[in-house]
Amino acid sequence: MDTNRTLTGRRALVTGGARGIGAAIARRLAADGACVVIADLDVEEGRRLAADIGAAAVQLDVTELLQVGEVIDSHGPFDILVNNAGMDQHAFFTQTTADDWRRLLAVNLESVFATTHAVLPHMQGAGYGRIINIASEAGRLGSRGGAVYAAAKGGVIAFTRSIARENGRKGITANVVAPGPIDTPMLREAVARGGERLMGTMTGATLAGRLGTPDEVAAATAFLASDAAGFITGEILGVSGGMGCGA
């Protein structure tokens, strides 16, 4: 357990925080001293993690925009916002439907609008805030079989940079963490469907030649949440083993 309590006194909201990358982020922020609220559709899994790390958990469907505001009003105010909730769909674009587009945009992009809109007034009044949006290297590089997902994550990147511009002189930073292939249960399920050739394709796309770990994404997120990153805003921090090198 990290004993460097750099976030003591800070209150953090992590969406999609019950498992995978989100759980690693929640665990790391709590270890660094933050008071963490885990918001996830699977509240039972969130509560199990919360009990383990000394956090709180709340059920949240990030596509229900009114519910987003109510959760933040009830459990905030927050000094740190980590927008991690997301979903993907592996299909070529011509195989997708308008309903697919709406769902992917609602989960991956519109939810980021909603949470940010709800936390910013307090951050602006306090003169302090850290917004970290978990996007994807797909948002910079595109994704074969994931065009709508990539478009949504590209939107997250552009939105984050815009929020950084609007709030740079108000003590608020806004940055993106862009993971590449990370070893999570969701990725393992995709590999099970696509076979070991898919695993080779993903690891071969990185300069490191391996999958990343959720803890590596969490470390980058915790750094951007800390006071040490106070002069870093509007940036994209790739955690992808060099997948985005040169992008």
Residues taking part in catalysis:
149
Concatenated DSSP letters of 176-204: EEEE-SB--HHHHHHHHHH-HHHHHHHHH
Of residues 40, 51, 49, the one with CA closest to residue 15? 40
How far apart are the C-alpha atoms of 241 and 206, rounded to whole Å? 5
Cβ(175)–Cβ(186) under 8 Å? Answer: no
148 DSSP assignment: H
Other Cβ atoms closer than 10 A to 24:
24
Q: What are phi and psi for residue 212, nearest 5 degrees?
A: -85, 175
